Amino acid sequence: MGALVLFLAAIVGTSWTALAAWGLVAQFTRSAPSELAPLEVRFDASSSRVSGGRIAFYQWTFGDDFSGSGVAVVHRYAVDGTYLVTLLIGDGQGQVAKLEALIHVSGSAEVFPFGTGVGQAAPLFELPDLEGVPVRLADFRGRLVLLDFWGTWCPTCTKTLAILEDFRRRHEDDGLVLVGVTSDKDATTPADYLRANGFLDFVCLWGSLKDARAVQELYSVTGVPHVFLIDRLGVIRFTGKPEELKDADIQPWL
C-alpha cells in the first residue's frame, strides 16, 4: 500500500518551511532577542501562507508538555535541552499543515542544523512500517537509533543485518533500537525475510518503493547498505557502512 512520505522540516538558517499541502504552507522563525529572559524563545509564524484564503488558527506545542496559540508566541523553557517544536496551521475548512523542528535551548536558542553528517540533526520523516502503520523518526526521541538503509536484493545488506542485530540485542536494555528503510519493490519480500531469519525486533519501514527512495534521497544515501547512529537527542553520531560500525562508536551515547 502506498503512502505519503511526510518530511517534517526543512531547515534554512533559523527558519523552517513545511512542504506545501492543499495550498497551505507552514513556516516559522525562532529568535532569542536580548530583551527576553534566559531560556525564553520567540516563535513567529507570520510567514505561513494559504492560497485563496486566510489562516484560521495557529497551534503550537513546544516539546516540553506546554502548548500555545497565535501567530507569534514567546515561550520560556524550564531547563536546558533539545526540544521538538510543532506548528499546526489550518484554513478553517478542514485543511491543516504541520511543521516540526528541533531547537536546542541553553540560555538562548541554538539550532542543531538538519543534515546527514556527524554532529547534525537527523532529517525528520514519517514512513509506514511493513504493516502500513505510520512511524515517525521523532517517535524514537530519547532512544539510541541505528537507522539502516537496506534491501533483501542486496547480499551485503542481508549479511550486515546480522551485525546490526547483534548491536541491538546487546544494547537493547540501554534503549538501542534498530530501524530500517528497505528499498525492496514490495512489503512482502522483506517481511518474509525478517520473519524467516528471526529479526523480529527490527522496525522496518517502506510504504512504497517511491516513498522509501525519497527517504533515502533525504539522507543522501547513494548506495546500500548504509547505517546512521542517531543519539537520544536526534543527532547523528556515525554514518557509514554497517561493517565499519564499532562498539566504541556506540558506547559514548548509551
- Output 40 or 183, whichever has higher pLDDT: 183
* Residue 151 and residue 211 in one domain: yes
Same domain, 47 and 151: no
User: Does residue 118 lie within any of the structural domains?
Assistant: no
- The reply to whether 145 and 219 lie within a common domain is yes
Q: What are phi and psi of 189, to 5 degrees?
A: -60, -55
Higher pLDDT: 10 or 43? It is 43
Same-domain check for residues 138 and 196:
yes
Choosing from 63, 84, 110, the residue where a domain stops is: 110
Asked which of 108-112, 130-134, 140-144, 236-240 is least confident by mean pLDDT, the reply is: 108-112
16 falls in which pLDDT band (50, 70, 90)? low
The answer on 151 and 71 residing in a single domain is: no
**Is the CB of residue 58 less than 8 Å from the CB of residue 83?**
no
Q: Are residues 63 and 171 in the same domain?
A: no
Predicted local confidence at residue 119, as pLDDT: 87
Contact 224, 245 (CB under 8 A): no
Residues 10 and 78 in one domain: yes
pLDDT digits (tens, 9 = 90+) for 114-158: 789 998 888 888 999 999 999 989 889 889 999 999 999 999 999
43 occurs within a structural domain: yes
Q: Mean pLDDT lowest for which of 24-38, 91-105, 164-178, 233-247? A: 24-38
Do 38 and 136 share a domain, yes or no? no
* Domain that includes residue 93, residue range: 6-110
Residue 57's CATH number: 2.60.40.10
Domain of residue 200, CATH code: 3.40.30.10
Residue that finishes a domain, picked among 84, 110, 136: 110
Whether residue 204 is predicted with pLDDT greater than 80 in this model: the reply is yes
